[in-house]
A and B are shown apart, each in its own frame.
Chain A
Amino acid sequence: DAGITQSPRHKVTETGTPVTLRCHQTENHRYMYWYRQDPGHGLRLIHYSYGVKDTDKGEVSDGYSVSRSKTEDFLLTLESATSSQTSVYFCAIRIRQGARNTEAFFGQGTRLTVV
């Protein structure tokens, strides 16, 4: 599983509160990603990181911020949660397999409900 852990696995929060989701990896991979999954949309990229303190926006970044202060942790923050952010959130890492870079591993997912 490439040592990816997401926490928490489930969370219920109230509208307007800040929420932080954590993605932790143990194998020193450079590239990390946050996606959200909603019915009828597949997975959509929120933010990604290509190194410590190096991050960039994805397709659906509004309302989210990220931080990566050390290689192993990539944090996703909802500054003020809204009901539209109810979703399943996946972290992913890109690993080197032989000569290829592939997104081979995803975390277990975090189910977030905003009420």
Chain B
Amino acid sequence: AQKITQTQPGMFVQEKEAVTLDCTYDTSDQSYGLFWYKQPSSGEMIFLIYQGSYDEQNATEGRYSLNFQKARKSANLVISASQLGDSAMYFCAMREGQEGGADGLTFGKGTHLIIQP
């Protein structure tokens, strides 16, 4: 079974609209972290936002927020007031185990977001 599932291979959104990118995860660990990354067409991986499993409040970073629903095992990324520059691939990822551990990330397959003017 996939540990990270992103069900939207592609999305088209009008500029200035809010966008929700879906991510569900599967883990039996009590301690884990959830991440979102942006990959524009230039190829670099850009960290957007992080949510720890014990965080009681949803993480926010500027126009990005993470809608964390622990019981449903979902960690959706919300982009408010989308901009043309938001067009990119977006990856959800998870690190299992304690935050201080060395384990790497498991990534979803990504969502290709295109913002239309």
Residues on A facing B (Cβ under 8 Å): 31, 33, 35, 40-45, 48, 50, 56, 58-59, 88, 90, 92, 100-106, 108-109
Contacts and interface: CB of A to CB of B under 8 A. Distances in A.
- The A interface, classified by DSSP as helix, strand, loop or mixed, is strand
Interface in B75-98: 91, 93, 95
Interface residues of B, number: 24
Contacts of B4: 42
Interface of B: 4, 33, 35, 37, 43-45, 47, 50, 52, 91, 93, 95, 99-100, 102-110
B107 A31 contact: no
A100 B43 contact: no
B60 to A, nearest CB: 14
Given A41-B109, A108-B44, A109-B43, A102 B104 contact: no
Contacts of A103: 35, 47, 93, 95, 104-105
Nearest to A56: B102
